[in-house]
Amino acid sequence: MSESFSFWNMACQQLDRVAKRMNLDPNVHAKMRHCQRALVVSVPIRMDDGRVQVFEGYRVQHNSERGPTKGGVRYHPNVTLDEVKALAMLMTWKCAVIGLPYGGAKGGIVCDPSAMSLGEIERMTRRYTSEISIIIGPAKDIPAPDVNTNPQTMAWMMDTYSMTVGYSVPGVVTGKPIEIGGSQGRGDATGRGVATVLIAAAERLGLHPAQSTVAIQGLGNVGGAVAKFLHGKGFKIIGVTDVGGGIFNPRGLDVPALLNYARTNPHRQIKGFGGGEYVEGHDAANARLLALPVDILAPCALENQITADNAAAIKAKIIVEGANGPTSPEADEILAQQGVVVVPDILANAGGVTVSYFEWVQDLQSNFWDEEDVNRSLDRLMMRSFHDVYDVAAREKCDLRLAAQILAVNRVARAAALRGIYP
């Protein structure tokens, strides 16, 4: 990532664009351009070797006009307050475009979990939860898994918060194990949602699964699920990448075998899989993947992957953003000139937060759904939201990103107008 890149500035630029297009009330616009609350915390823990190491953690709440805030927690060496603020803003739009009664939040810790033991990660998680407990809660802010966090992380967070208040509070986080209040279908929810809107977009553009090729950047929880669902629908996956490199086969990859290999080999990577040509190195593999002559490209890794430097090389007809913020505003302009249809992140990857909402509702009611009910409700909401956005794009004669933002910002703005400003 370029040192000059600011994810927060990019998010604000996107908001400014939609505000100008909507002729948004400048007072509402000004309010949306700021995060409601940003907490920076010190996270000291005792490492396995006896020394004390202090990590920096963040929890940002962007907007609560439509309800309690919602968003994941990521553990990564490159986590910054700038990034977390931007992701919190994107979560506000994501919840609004799907119609969920949430605002946006995000959290993170600057750390390298791959260099830490399980015990160190647990102690760090519990201390972080204790530090942010003053601003989270089932009616205030509900964390969830994100990069390098998982159901076990959420279990520790839920337990720590519960011990703090003196009783069990399963609804304080989502993405938990099923045994302590998690929801069926949560693990694959984001990837399933990406695949659902990808299929809807392909249908709108007259692409048929059996004749369509796909490239997927990132084969983690999201990208892996996307590959699994699309393969099951007949799409041909010809290229994928992970943190170590990429594998390519113009005749199509054996997706079930590839996913099983990545899941079971010691390094949890695709290197060594014999079903295609392997390209060593993250940068080299991604450069090749983005330039593949495919019908559909699904970036499911980190932000700022498609930029002004590489957008012109993209040959895909459709980009479906499984990651948050993978496309820069400058790249958007280039892609539009090339006629590439971009299904934006706030719509495409909203499956995770949608099933998180289902989990939260189940926890509050102590009434849990079957996986079929979860998946059916998820598919319905994702399809409805895609067509809502598509209809706005047709009415406003704009791209899908602007249409999704118009829909989302308008919903938040209406809530803000109704609530007014306190005091």
Q: Which residues are catalytic?
A: 106
Query: 113, exposed or middle or buried, with CB in 10 Å at 0-12, 13-18, 19+?
Result: buried
* C-alpha–C-alpha distance, residues 58 and 112, integer Å: 15
187-to-174, 182, 417 alpha-carbon distances in Å: 11, 10, 36
Pairing of strands 236-241, 245-248: antiparallel
Q: Where are the beta strands (DSSP E) in 181-234?
A: 213-217
* C-alpha–C-alpha distance, residues 419 and 417, integer Å: 6
* C-alpha–C-alpha distance, residues 73 and 143, integer Å: 6
* C-alpha–C-alpha distance, residues 274 and 406, integer Å: 46
66 in Cβ contact with 412 (< 8 Å): yes
Pairing of strands 141-145, 213-217: unpaired
405 in Cβ contact with 18 (< 8 Å): yes
273 in Cβ contact with 261 (< 8 Å): yes
* C-alpha–C-alpha distance, residues 148 and 153, integer Å: 9
Q: Which amino acid is at 323?
A: A
Token readout for 129 is 């939860």
3-state secondary structure of 277: strand
Helix count and strand count (H, E) for the chain:
14, 12
205-to-172, 189, 314, 323, 403 alpha-carbon distances in Å: 41, 24, 18, 22, 17
Token pair 């400003």: residue: 421
List CB contacts of 105: < 8 A, sequence separation 6 or more.
59, 60, 61, 62, 69, 70, 71, 88, 91, 141, 142, 143
